[in-house]
Amino acid sequence: MMALSELKGLGKARLETLEKAGIRTMADLLLTLPVRYQDTSVLTAIGDLVPGQEVCVSGFPKAAPRLSRFRGMTSVTLRLCDETGGVPVVWYNQPWLQTQIKQEDLLTLYGRVDRDKQGRIRMASPLIVKERGILPVYRALSGLPPKVMRELIRQALTQLEDCCPETLPDILRLKYHLCERNFALRQAHFPETRENLAIALRRVSFEGMLLYQAAAASLRGERTRGIQMELPPDGPEAYFRTLPFPPTGAQRRVLDEIAADLRAPTAMGRLIQGDVGCGKTALAFGAMFLSARAGYQSALMAPTEILARQHLESARRMLEPLGIPCGLLTGGMKARERREALESIASGQWRVVIGTHALISEGVQYENLGLVITDEQHRFGVRQRRLLSKKAKENEPAPNELVMSATPIPRSLALVLYGDLDLSVVDELPPGRTPVKTRIVPEDKRDGLYRFIHSEAAQGRQTYIVCPLVEESEQIDARSAQETYADLCTGPLRDLRLGLTYGNQDPEEKARTIQAFSQGDIDVLVSTTVIEVGVNVPSATVMVIENADRFGLSQLHQLRGRVGRGARESWCFLMAAPNERLKTLCETNDGFKIAQKDLDLRGPGDFLGTRQHGDTLLPGMALGADVQLLEETSQCLKWLRSPGYEEEWNQVRQTAQAAFARAMDEVAMN
């Protein structure tokens, strides 16, 4: 079998690039599938162009290309025409195209149709097509141009039979009408027809989703001996009596399930899923209360320092009056702070430890860790969860594991993604939450929106304005946070107190800004999606989302959840042209209904963000998976585990364990 290093065009630097991307063998390379395809096999008439589509068009420039300069950037523009009409085309920072494109030459382009800032249809930075067909596009790797990656794959395919033998039993393939693996991989890389590509992607997606579920089922079946806690029968009720508000029926049910897990001899592995504001944090504190009363420490890992600090404030308010000392550990601590925190954790002085990834870093030792909780599960991988669980002392029973997700996920998808966990759904909201009224606002109503923000500020109410970008971009027509902040400071909101925050902002500046907003010292906070989780400001009543059509429904619902956290009427304004997706948000505040609609409209790959990022949570998920296939693979797993198919189940299970030995450690959605 040929080694990866024997491929032509693959020197030391490129080999290192591949290794960093997890591609170490010929099989790894062959299983690195395209993240999308450029279909230049079919031409679209210019008169039929629709924004949002990726198309191949052909025509003649109406005039010679024009070169312009703007803020240190260049743009080459022309109008491409065919017999059905014309469309403006622009390329950024490619000035050489001005001399390369001739007015008399037939020009074939492939790219996305969008609108400019004036709302006119155009194509921005399309590819000039030299080769017609269905071309694979691979995840971008530094130092490996797309053409080089395609050539490496082409060479590797000569070794396909030796590297990638069949993985699925024949009886399974026949039952679910799946093609052979070798045919699927050849056609997934270099499809001969659209039909062959569809057949290949069905096989690849089916296998990836089935093997992931099989690996998760194996993990679930191998639950280790866990810390068995002695809890009084009324433990959950004792906790609820300490709260300043009555629990919902769903909260009572879920904390009872957690208590039963903590009393069991096997380690708890439970996912709590619920909509924004359903009271998951109170349940996490309830679990930590039970753990502390049984004599054990608890650790809660949050994805951001902002969220970790907010959890700490809440924990000190709710748990410390009950005699449960709480502390914080984050990566941004000064040396002395960190040393004191580590001592408090190791000595057991802190019964509850809240922090970020720092909780799983080297040098952190716990006195008797009995419960680990990860918040916002979609931000963490399996490996990170397991590392926190392994912070228990050597040869001791494993700590109990509780996972929380504030991103509603349809049950069918949750059972696939979190197959190693038991699932608890908090399907009831506490009384007193005011439903957020959602409206789609077209551009010509923007002035009225700013007048409404002024009237809310006059009553002491605050506003979020969320933008999809941090900085202005010539390539993407979307409002940036910095651009919006600058315009508002000197324009329609100049008499209000404005703040700006974004993901890679200096951490101290970010913390100061969000703290000022939380304290009411800022009327309008302009931000990116950094405020999607962990910012709790009851006096914020208005959420404005710029370019709302650039977000998934579930993310829009998460952002909307930042308002309506008090008793006052709250509003969410979606700045976009009306469409079916956005109308769903205006019709319901039920996160699970919205998530199901999102899943139905976009498919699992887009729902999870894998299509945009190119990092697949499940192999093949971003390629050909849909809701029907998701349900088929779940049914297939049940069939495999039924009596009479032990041999086939063992084959699939062993293949899954081998396939995910490394991937299960590395998998992470963001």
Is residue 563 within 8 Å of residue 433, measured between CB atoms? no
Residues 286 and 357 in one domain: yes
Whichever domain contains 121, its CATH number is 2.40.50.140
E strand segments, 567-664: 571-575
531-547 average pLDDT score: 83
- Is residue 222, in this structure, part of any structural domain at all? no
Go through the chain and tell me how many residues it has.
670
List beta partners, residue 270: 402, 422
Q: For residues 100 and 499, give the distance between their C-alpha atoms in angstroms, rounded to a whole number.
A: 46
Residues 278 and 407 in one domain: yes
One DSSP character per residue, 292-315 reads HHTT-EEEEE-SSHHHHHHHHHHH
Residues 453 and 399 in one domain: no
Residues 369 and 470 in one domain: no
445-471 average pLDDT score: 90
pLDDT recorded at residue 555: 84
Residues 457 and 387 in one domain: no
pLDDT confidence tier of residue 447, bands split at 50, 70 and 90: very high
Residues 417 and 550 in one domain: no
Closest CA to 375 of 277, 280, 503, 261: 280
pLDDT confidence tier of residue 626, bands split at 50, 70 and 90: low
- Is 216's pLDDT higher than 90? no
- Is residue 46, in this structure, part of any structural domain at all? yes
- Is 262's pLDDT higher than 90? yes
Cα–Cα separations (whole angstroms), residue 525 to 277, 434, 451: 21, 21, 16
Q: Which of 128, 163, 186 is the last residue of a domain?
A: 128
Residues sharing a CB contact under 8 Å with residue 190, sequence separation 6 or more, in sequence order: 136, 153, 154, 157
Measured at the CA of 475, the angle between CA 607 and CA 513, to 5 degrees, comes to 70
Lowest-pLDDT range of 252-261, 321-330, 523-532 = 523-532
Q: For residues 174 and 602, give the distance between their C-alpha atoms in angstroms, rounded to a whole number.
A: 28
pLDDT confidence tier of residue 481, bands split at 50, 70 and 90: confident
- State both tokens at 388: 């926190």
436-461 average pLDDT score: 93
- Is 474's pLDDT higher than 50? no
At 78 the three-state DSSP class reads strand
- Is 119's pLDDT higher than 90? no
Residues sharing a CB contact under 8 Å with residue 319, sequence separation 6 or more, in sequence order: 285, 288, 289, 292, 326, 352
pLDDT recorded at residue 142: 83
- Is residue 147, in this structure, part of any structural domain at all? no
Phi, psi of 55 (to 5 degrees): -135, 165
Residue found by looking up tokens 């970010």 in the block: 510
pLDDT recorded at residue 437: 94
Query: Which amino acid makes up residue 282?
Result: A
- Is residue 5, in this structure, part of any structural domain at all? no
pLDDT confidence tier of residue 239, bands split at 50, 70 and 90: very high
- Is 202's pLDDT higher than 70? yes
Whichever domain contains 240, its CATH number is 3.40.50.300
- What is the extent of the structural domain holding 474? 437-588
- Is residue 26, in this structure, part of any structural domain at all? no
- Is residue 662, in this structure, part of any structural domain at all? no
Phi, psi of 171 (to 5 degrees): -65, -35
Residues 366 and 451 in one domain: no
Q: Which of 374, 398, 426 is the last residue of a domain?
A: 426
198-223 average pLDDT score: 81
Pick the more confident residue, 433 or 596: 596
pLDDT recorded at residue 171: 96
163: exposed, middle or buried (C-beta count within 10 Å: 0-12, 13-18, 19+)? buried
68-72, 586-590, 591-595 — most confident range: 586-590
Residues 447 and 523 in one domain: yes
Residues 417 and 459 in one domain: no
Angle, helix 305-318 to helix 507-518, in steps of 10 degrees: 50
Q: For residues 571 and 590, give the distance between their C-alpha atoms in angstroms, rounded to a whole number.
A: 16
- Is 380's pLDDT higher than 50? no
List beta partners, residue 134: 39
Residues 411 and 380 in one domain: yes
Residue 129: HSE in the Cβ half-sphere, 13 Å Cα cutoff: 22
Q: For residues 97 and 66, give the distance between their C-alpha atoms in angstroms, rounded to a whole number.
A: 10
Q: For residues 35 and 27, give the distance between their C-alpha atoms in angstroms, rounded to a whole number.
A: 17
How many domains does the chain divide into? Answer: 3
- Is residue 284, in this structure, part of any structural domain at all? yes
DSSP 428: -
Residues 421 and 453 in one domain: no
118-133 average pLDDT score: 89
Give buried/exposed letters for 325-355 (b at 16+ CB in 10 A, else e).
bbbbbbeebeeeebeebbebbeeeebbbbbb
Q: Which of 537, 571, 588 is the last residue of a domain?
A: 588
- Is residue 632, in this structure, part of any structural domain at all? no
Residue-averaged pLDDT of the chain: 85
219-228, 369-378, 435-444 — most confident range: 435-444
pLDDT recorded at residue 645: 94
Closest CA to 664 of 171, 222, 216: 216
Residues 451 and 572 in one domain: yes
